[in-house]
Amino acid sequence: MTRWFVPGRLEVFGKHTDYAGGNSLLAAVDRGVTIDLSDADAHTTASTTASSGDVVLRNGETPDLPSGHWGGYVSAVVERLRLNFGEIRPVRLHVDSDLPLASGMSSSSALVVALALSLIDHNGLRDTPQWRENIHNDIDLAGYMACFENGMTFGTLDGVRGVGTFGGSEDHTAMLCCKADHLTQFRFCPIVEGESVLVPDDLSFVVAVSGLLAEKTGAALASYNQASIRTREIVAAWNDATGREDVTIADALASDEDASEGLRAVVGHSPELTSRLRAFLTESEDLIPAATAALRTGDLETFGHLSDLSQKNADKQLGNQVPETNRLQALARELGAHGASSFGAGFGGSVWALTGTSDAEAFGEEWLARYTSEYPGVQGRASVLVTRSGGPARRL
């Protein structure tokens, strides 16, 4: 039997920036998904502690599962590996997780990465010519893992349907490349690792789960994908106006020192695209470099102010916030958090707060009590947890 652990991730800054080539400030957390793998005589079978029943993949066929069923991730991973590397040996998989589901901590991406790593390991795929041609380090691996979800081709490794999300590689990069006790800044498309800053032992993150599921399936999928689609529309308008062939907003910005003004001009006819562009530029190009610098120098007051601006930007320009997440962020600051902001796909999910380690548990209890008193409808679904920056994915 082999066992892999893949952490969830905390997006401290970087709301919907990665797939447009922007910056993110990330951590791998100390919670995650654990997969136990053992040999099987026929078929691949998967089970989880989160629900009853097995998912069975017979002869490479896609099982008939309800929309949003966790087994769809198993099927997508096996299908992609089979397409890129050939037949995959039948195995028995068992999945366990201590990540809150659909909370914004990337439980679904952690599941995908854990499934993929365990099957890659078990089948010796790192020794194949296809692997050696396309995947040279953990940065490349993170980019490839993202393609299991968005269905894109990676190098010479052909794409297939994925799981339907038009996202980037932020989650997978944090899970595979972040360092224990640090936050790391990355830029995407392609992935470039930037500065890592230490999170001192006397600081911890408290995460409040709003009780509104941030699912990337069903009706929520369209809202999530719309933010991505609009970045493509911005780039298309830019290319039409300039004759360029840029792929992301970041590519356009790199083309000319005045490109930000040019981008604003070409989308000025559309309030939706103007807001989407403003959301990207503010979060990626202004707030994240400043937040990294503030943490480096220990300037928590500035860091907190920047987190407030990030929340406001997400609400007013990106448009992926709900009253519950806005109130959680404000409550955290009222209770004395050094900084606080929502994170993840949005439209629900969670909010992080940076607090003193010694006070983190008490802070979380008060934060949750205040929140549920104002929003009694989330009683029983809302929760809090304390976490720090953990290490990357690893075989146990």
Average pLDDT over residues 15-27: 95
Residue 394 lies in a domain: no
CA distance 167 to 158: 18
The reply to whether 218 and 291 lie within a common domain is yes
The reply to whether 250 and 274 lie within a common domain is yes
Judged against a pLDDT cut of 90, whether residue 61 lies above it is answered with: no
pLDDT band at 50 (very low <50, low <70, confident <90, very high): confident
Its sign, for the CA torsion 209, 210, 214, 215, is positive
Residue 344 CA: distances (Å) to CA of 49, 224, 255, 316, 387: 24, 10, 29, 16, 16
CA distance 217 to 307: 28
The reply to whether 193 and 209 lie within a common domain is no
Average pLDDT over residues 252-279: 96
The reply to whether 271 and 151 lie within a common domain is no
Residue 269 lies in a domain: yes
The reply to whether 165 and 236 lie within a common domain is no
355 vs 53: which has the higher pLDDT:
355
The reply to whether 232 and 133 lie within a common domain is no
Contact 336, 360 (CB under 8 A): no
Number of domains present in the structure of the chain = 2
Q: In the structure encoding, which two tokens stand for residue 295, read together?
A: 């943490």
Please tell me the predicted confidence (pLDDT) of residue 127.
Answer: 98
Structural domain ending residue among the three candidates 166, 198, 230:
198
Please tell me the predicted confidence (pLDDT) of residue 163.
Answer: 63
The reply to whether 177 and 281 lie within a common domain is no
The reply to whether 164 and 258 lie within a common domain is no
What CATH number is attached to the domain comprising 321? Answer: 3.30.70.890
What CATH number is attached to the domain comprising 129? Answer: 3.30.230.10
Residue with the two structure tokens 């447009």: 20
117-154 per-position pLDDT tens digit: 999 999 999 999 999 999 999 999 999 999 998 889 99
Please tell me the predicted confidence (pLDDT) of residue 161.
Answer: 74
Burial class (CB in 10 A: 0-12, 13-18, 19+), 263: buried
Please tell me the predicted confidence (pLDDT) of residue 217.
Answer: 45
**How many of the other CB atoms lie within 10 Å of CB of 193?**
14
* Stretch (H or E) spanning 299: none
Residue of 342, 332, 395 whose CA lies nearest to 365: 332
CA distance 128 to 126: 6
**What rounded mean pLDDT belongs to the chain?**
93
323-346 per-position pLDDT tens digit: 999 999 999 999 999 999 999 888
168-178 per-position pLDDT tens digit: 799 999 999 99
The reply to whether 231 and 343 lie within a common domain is yes
Residue 395 lies in a domain: no
The reply to whether 229 and 189 lie within a common domain is no
Structural domain ending residue among the three candidates 198, 231, 250:
198
Average pLDDT over residues 229-252: 97
pLDDT band at 36 (very low <50, low <70, confident <90, very high): very high
Please tell me the predicted confidence (pLDDT) of residue 100.
Answer: 82
Average pLDDT over residues 362-391: 96
39 vs 228: which has the higher pLDDT:
39
Please tell me the predicted confidence (pLDDT) of residue 166.
Answer: 55
Judged against a pLDDT cut of 90, whether residue 27 lies above it is answered with: yes
Residue 293 lies in a domain: yes
E strand intervals along the chain: 2-13, 23-39, 44-48, 51-57, 91-97, 182-187, 192-198, 203-209, 339-343, 350-356, 383-387, 394-395
Judged against a pLDDT cut of 90, whether residue 228 lies above it is answered with: no
The reply to whether 249 and 192 lie within a common domain is no
Please tell me the predicted confidence (pLDDT) of residue 214.
Answer: 52
Residue 393 lies in a domain: no
Judged against a pLDDT cut of 90, whether residue 227 lies above it is answered with: no
Residue 97 lies in a domain: yes
The reply to whether 21 and 153 lie within a common domain is yes
Residue 392 lies in a domain: no
Q: In the structure encoding, which two tokens stand for residue 141, read together?
A: 């691996």
CA distance 288 to 298: 15
Contact 210, 350 (CB under 8 A): yes
Please tell me the predicted confidence (pLDDT) of residue 313.
Answer: 98
* Amino acid at the residue 350: S
Residue 106 lies in a domain: yes
Range of the domain at 88: 2-198
Structural domain ending residue among the three candidates 141, 174, 198:
198
State percent of the chain over pLDDT 70: 94
Question: At 120, is the secondary structure helix, strand, or coil?
Answer: helix
Residues in the chain: 396
Contact 27, 12 (CB under 8 A): yes
Q: In the structure encoding, which two tokens stand for residue 362, read together?
A: 């008490």
79-122 per-position pLDDT tens digit: 999 999 999 999 999 999 999 876 778 888 999 999 999 999 99
